Amino acid sequence: MKQKNYRRGYPVAILIGTEQDHASLWQVFSQVAKHQQTIHLNGDRKDKKTLYNYHETIINALRPTIKEGVRSIIVSAPSRTSYAQDLLTHISAHHSWLLQGQNKASFAQIIGSADTPPQVSELTKTAVFEQKIQENAEEETENLLEIIEKRLNTSDNLVLFSLEEAEKTIFEKQTVGKPQPDYILMTDNYLSNSQQKKRLNRLIQIAQNKKIKVRVINAESNAGLRLTQLGGLICLMKI
């Protein structure tokens, strides 16, 4: 992932760099990893209540980004530490909503520090990180495929099939009581091969600003193949 700020690109994952006394949260986009927040451990890691409160603070910090549709989460920690596993164990014990259901998140663990921009830049370039991203994406797209099929099988016109329809719906002020835009989904092939990249990038940016979830999906995945059948880009609406 390039560490430049001229363009974020589309959302890819959340990266949590766990250290002994703090955690650094990063939003990973296709072009940049952006620092979101640093959460400090206030007390002794060996104290169960302190550790519980610390992990809860991390989860609460994740909620807004998860709500925006980014549900691929990579947890890193230095070698020979249990910091990442401690957090994942806490999630398993206290946050089942993150592990099951249609909107569940996909978690992966990786060795390495993600505390500073140079560390994150180095970590996100590794083959292991890319593999974890791919594995999480495969799980996430299966969940998205379920959402696509459910909305296709309603009589409420909850799927828009063209860039023009998506632009019209997202750029205009939404009418209260009418279906609202929920997701913009497109394949990576659609994005890379489009002759209208400026329009696509503008759509992505405005959708993100309006808290509409944007996902770019591997065209070879099951969800990607289904999206290709539907034209490569759809806008999912919700009631």
Mean per-residue pLDDT, 181-200: 92
Name the residue with higher pLDDT: 225 or 6.
Answer: 225
Q: How confident is the model at residue 102, as a pLDDT?
A: 65
In this predicted model, what pLDDT tens digit does every residue of 102-149 receive, in sequence order?
Answer: 668 899 999 999 999 999 999 999 999 989 988 888 787 888 888 888
Q: How confident is the model at residue 2, as a pLDDT?
A: 41
Could you give the CA distance from residue 35 to residue 112 in angstroms, rounded to a whole number?
A: 17
Torsion-angle region of 87 (φ positive above 0: left; ψ -120 to 50: alpha; else: beta): alpha
- Residue 100: pLDDT band (50, 70, 90) is confident
Q: How confident is the model at residue 4, as a pLDDT?
A: 40
Pick from 84-88, 123-127, 219-223, 227-231: least confident: 219-223
**What is the model's pTM?**
0.77
Q: How confident is the model at residue 175, as a pLDDT?
A: 81
pLDDT of 1 > 60? The answer is no
Q: Among residues of the chain, what percentage have pLDDT more than 70?
A: 96
Dihedrals φ, ψ of 214, to 5°? -120, 125
Q: How confident is the model at residue 78, as a pLDDT?
A: 97
> For the chain, which residues make up each domain, given as ranges?
11-139, 154-238
Calculate the average pLDDT of the chain.
Answer: 90
11-139: which CATH number, 3.40.250.10, 3.10.129.10, 1.10.3720.10, 3.30.420.60?
3.30.420.60
Q: How confident is the model at residue 90, as a pLDDT?
A: 98
Q: 154-238 maps to which CATH number?
A: 3.30.1330.30
In this predicted model, what pLDDT tens digit does every residue of 31-89 receive, in sequence order?
Answer: 889 999 999 999 999 999 999 999 999 999 999 888 888 889 999 999 999 999 999 99
Mean per-residue pLDDT, 148-154: 88
